[in-house]
Structure 1
Amino acid sequence: MLAQYLDINPEVKAALEAGRPVVALESTIISHGMPYPQNVETALKVEQIIRDNGAVPATIAILKGRLKVGMTHDEIEYLGKAGQAVIKTSRRDIPFIVAKQADGATTVASTMILAAMAGIKVFATGGIGGVHRGAQQTFDISADLQELANTDVAVVCAGAKSILDIGLTLEYLETQGVPVVGYETETLPAFYTRESDFGVDYRLDTPKQVADAMTAKWQMGLKGGVVVANPIPAEYALDKAMIDQVIKDAVAEMDAKGISGKASTPFLLAKVAEKTEGSSLAANIQLVFNNAKLAAQIACEYSR
């Protein structure tokens, strides 16, 4: 039944059938995360980092209504050029994008869904979505969190995006039974910075330890994902006090303009990039590279 919707790239398919390591990658970062051609260059570099660390990359999107698990260079180029004209696609959007034979860039939630359809267990991204600031009034909570509760994929990220309410995000994950692992850290990284004011559930220090926990969880039938929070390398981290103030100002501007829902994250990230004169974008790229490397190492251990 799935075959009528799903296209698995031949290289990815061969790796999965042989039990070799594969790492899923999202496509919203290509379409909405940065301008062309930087977005395409970054996407291809991320794929190369995964190859250099022993795994096969599978960048995921929806193109002309087909669920693509593993994209060609031409397809990544097409998506990068289309940019924000491509629909940002979460769980609820998938059937409509497919039915309209449209193009969709996958978020963390939808990338997890398509990865799971293909049998991929490890996914590298920038930061997960979460509970937005002021959610007590707006109920603005990312679908990423619910997907983590239900879908058996480990998500390697630089923690929760610092534009979010990190405390409430962790509370939500705890309620849903999603473990938050700190890689070589006991505090949750906050995307642009190596730490926040919040701790993680478990500190693990090697890719094998992460892979062993994933194996135990899923072999026992405990469904749902794992958050592997990997701090941005120290040399690329931004100053915490500075970034907190920039985000506070950006949130106030967003509220004044009445921006909400799926438009809020791109707005806030663009504002942060503007206020930090591009240093946040450079940090974003470096943390994605760092997460890709760790994800490949975890995938290699898991496949063993």
Structure 2
Amino acid sequence: MTSEHLTLSEEVADALAAGRPVVALESTLLAHGLPPGRNLEVGRRLERVVRDGGAVPATVAVLDGRALVGLTPDQLERVCDAGLAKLSLRDLGPAVGLGGSGATTVASTAALADAAGVRVFATGGLGGVHHPLPGETVTWDVSADLGVLAKVATLVVCSGVKSILDIPATLEVLETNSVAVLGYRTDDFPAFYRRSSGLPVSRRVDDPKQAAAAYAAHRALAGSGALLANPVPEAHELDAELHDRLLAEGLELLRTRGVQGSDVTPVLLEHFHTASGGVSLDANEELVVANAALGTEVAASLSELAR
């Protein structure tokens, strides 16, 4: 993406020029994944966690036809106000070309971060392959996140994928597209609110330096993206019985409302947050904060490797 369409904040540009660590953060989590008020608190907390770890936060969004990597405090507040569209990679060009605004998903954030030269991106959960709708045997509902990581060599630090998804199929698509799946201090792929999906990761790493070394070599040799799957902190993992009940209720809600596509995750999250009395909301916040902290450590290790 040319500089005509991409704007780096002065802080981000200076850090990249000096070889200092930078961590990208998405904005759809703030605009669509968290309730008003709390979203701004979380957005500020994420940036603070990155700064406290010695890196520069680069929250990504599109505002008034400009793709921004790194936001001012006023821009962050604007992202957290109601009304911003949800922009995946397919939506970036029209939004930028027509002077629009929107919050970036995992797919579009990863692409913009890579275009800016930011290698590490911390988020909550990755999109994936959905289960077929009732009466169907196959689905074409596959998140753009997977296709983007096939061609954009970003390291995405996340807590796996949500349990509503077809996790085995998602892992197969990642494998087909040569996306490395690293488990951080775990042999199991996480399932967002739950620490394990019962499925293995392709490689385990036990400290940020190992993660940085594995990713740097993967980027050089494969040219595709990588996941660093970091389970939700144990103290905030949802109780299995509560999780399964909320999931069953959420799936039924999706079925009765006929919810499909990009609306699935927001509707499901809203049900989890409401029906759990805020317990899942706390888990959501704490897992993304933990991922931002880990991403900061890995970004620092990558800077050391580059030096």
So what's the TM-score if we normalise by structure 1? Answer: 0.96
Aligned positions of 1:107-256 closer than 5 A = 107-134=105-132, 136-220=137-221, 222-256=222-256
Report the Cα offset of residue 241 of structure 1: 3.2
Gaps of 5+ in 2: none
Q: Does 1:52 align with 2:52?
A: yes
Report the Cα offset of residue 268 of structure 1: 0.8
Where does residue 76 of structure 1 map in the other structure?
Answer: 76
- Over residues 195-227 of structure 1, what are the superposed CA-to-partner deviations in whole Å (9 max), with x where a residue is unaligned? 11211111100100010011112223x111111
Where does residue 278 of structure 2 map in the other structure?
Answer: 278
Aligned equivalents of 1:91, 1:28: Cα separation in 2: 13
Aligned equivalents of 1:204, 1:241: Cα separation in 2: 30
So what's the TM-score if we normalise by structure 2? Answer: 0.96
Contact 2:61 2:68 in 1 (8 A): yes
Report the Cα offset of residue 51 of structure 1: 0.8
Contact 2:188 2:201 in 1 (8 A): yes
Contact 2:219 2:225 in 1 (8 A): no
Report the Cα offset of residue 252 of structure 1: 1.8
Report the Cα offset of residue 152 of structure 1: 0.8
How many residue pairs end up in the alignment? Answer: 301
Contact 2:272 2:280 in 1 (8 A): yes
Where does residue 88 of structure 2 map in the other structure?
Answer: 90
Q: What letter corresponds to residue 173 of structure 1 in structure 2? A: L
Q: What letter corresponds to residue 90 of structure 1 in structure 2? A: S
Q: What letter corresponds to residue 242 of structure 1 in structure 2? A: L
Report the Cα offset of residue 100 of structure 1: 1.9
Aligned equivalents of 2:272, 2:105: Cα separation in 1: 20
Report the Cα offset of residue 33 of structure 1: 1.0
Aligned equivalents of 1:224, 1:240: Cα separation in 2: 34
Aligned equivalents of 1:238, 1:218: Cα separation in 2: 34
Aligned equivalents of 1:145, 1:206: Cα separation in 2: 25
Gaps of 5+ in 1: none
Where does residue 263 of structure 1 map in the other structure?
Answer: 263
Aligned equivalents of 1:48, 1:122: Cα separation in 2: 16
Q: What letter corresponds to residue 29 of structure 1 in structure 2? A: L
> Cα distance 1:241–1:172, how it changes in 2: closer, same or farther (>3 A)?
farther
* Range moving further from structure 2, 92-101 or 242-251: 242-251
Q: What letter corresponds to residue 196 of structure 2 in structure 1? A: E
RMSD, aligned CA: 1.1
The alignment-based identity, stated in percent, is: 46
* Range moving further from structure 2, 68-77 or 190-199: 190-199
- Over residues 150-204 of structure 1, what are the superposed CA-to-partner deviations in whole Å (9 max), with x where a residue is unaligned? 1010000011122211111111111111111110000111111111121111110
